[in-house]
Structure 1
């Protein structure tokens, strides 16, 4: 299943892209589940990001590997792919794309995920949409509202 969220921001696309660091990662963390950052190497191919999700009664580990990065005259992106995922996820691919738009930029969160069960994917879709929509006001606060 695919999810695509767009956020228009004021800053230049390269400046925005280069700000995808541990500080921004921590700001983007949702209020629930609480995240414990175990490892953050960066956003370059070969880097690893590992978190522990704390859901109250249980802990779930999530480890992603940065597999791609590209910067061109009009866009920049990196991709993280889940290596160790919490149940029920079986596949996770998140493309963090920033495109040029005039003097500003558009931040795209392009997410492909699967549980292996179509009906469960459909149930998870609105939950993931809601959770990733929480990033929009944070992006606008950090990079300026258009």
Structure 2
């Protein structure tokens, strides 16, 4: 399944892209499940981000590796790919893309995920949309609302 969310912000695209650091990662964390950050190397290829998802009943490990990064005159992005995923996920790829938009930028969260069972992928879609849709207000607060 693919989820593609777009958020227009006031700041210039390179300054937005360069702000994707540990501090912003913590601000973007959903209220549930609670994330315990175990490791944050950054967003260069080979870097690793590891969290423990705290559900209140059980903790699940989630490890992603940065596989790609590119900066051009029009856009900048990095891609994290799931290495160790919580059930029921079997595949995870998240492209963090920031594109020019006049004097501002558009932040794209492009997420591809699979559980191995398409009906479950469809059932998870509203949950993914809710969890990642919450990022829009954080992006607007940090980078300015258009």
TM class, shorter-length: over 0.9
CA distance in 1, matches of 2:23, 2:109: 18
Q: Deviations over 1:1-45 (max 9, x none)?
A: 100000000000000000000000000000000000000000000
**Alignment RMSD, CA only?**
0.3
> 1:118, CA displacement in angstroms?
0.3
1:76 aligned residue: 76
The answer on 1:38 being equivalent to 2:38 is yes
Point out where structure 2 has 5 or more consecutive residues left out of the alignment. none
Shift of 1:143: 0.2
Where structure 1 has 5 or more consecutive residues not aligned to the other structure, the ranges are none
Asked whether 1:104 is paired with 2:119, we answer no
User: Does residue 85 in structure 1 map to residue 81 in structure 2?
Assistant: no
In the comparison of the two structures, how many residue pairs are matched? Answer: 146
* 3-state SS of 1:131 partner: helix
Give the distance between the partners of 1:118 and 1:28, measured in 2 at CA: 27
State the shift of 1:126 in Å. Answer: 0.6
Establish whether residue 131 from structure 1 lines up as the match of residue 131 from structure 2: yes
The structural deviation recorded for 1:56 is 0.7
Alignment pair present for 1:9 and 2:1: no
- Secondary structure (helix, strand or coil) at the match of 2:6 reads strand
Tell me, yes or no, if structure 1 residue 19 matches structure 2 residue 19.
Answer: yes
Moved >6 Å (runs of 4+): none
Aligned mates of 2:57, 2:145 — CA distance in 1 = 38
- Residue 85 of structure 1 and its aligned partner are, at CA, apart by 0.0
SS at the partner of 1:70?
A: strand
Deviations 1:67-108 (A, max 9, x none): 000000000000000000000000000000000000000000
Q: Distance in 1 between matches of 2:144 and 2:83?
A: 33
